Amino acid sequence: MKKHIIAFLKLMVPFTAVLCALQYALVTYGITRYDFQLSTVAIYVFHFVVTFLIYLFLSYVNNTFSDKTGYAFMACSLLRMMASVVFLWPLLEGEGNFMGDILAFFISYFIYLTIEVLYVVKLLQDDRK
């Protein structure tokens, strides 16, 4: 379990830093006509923390109840979506056009979800060997 988590962190920490820096540069210097309400750093910290906690939980479930990992992944995906709604709630409640903020959030959301799916599949395949 420990080697899976360390390998996951070795990818996620630099990946998060690079993506955050790219989006920050794009938001700050590239798209000047739109005033973003969400902080780029806050978006990436949220995604990193949620993704890491879910992967940590799924690694634990895979080690203890390996036949329930798929169900745990589906439950965690639902929790991730609920946490995203809570994170975005101030924007959804406010008046104005926040489509840019929501796009910035959900583009990175799906990138992190894809990485998580790939690592969970790898975790499950390693378990079968």
Q: Tell me the C-alpha distance between 109 and 35, whole Å.
A: 20
Q: What is the pLDDT of residues 52-91, one digit of tens each?
A: 999 999 999 988 988 888 899 999 999 999 999 999 988 8
Reported pTM: 0.88
Question: Do residues 40 and 20 touch, judged by C-beta distance below 8 A?
Answer: yes
Predicted confidence (pLDDT) per residue in 35-45, tens digit: 778 888 999 99
Tally of domains in the chain: 1
Query: Of 129, 12, 128, 124, nearest to 59 (Cα)?
Result: 124
Report the alpha-carbon distance of residue 63 to residue 122 in Å, rounded. 14
Q: Which domain holds residue 33?
A: 2-128
User: How many residues are present in the chain?
Assistant: 129
**Residue 37, SS3 per DSSP:** coil
Region 123-128: what's the mean pLDDT? 76
Count of other CB atoms within 10 angstroms of residue 85: 9
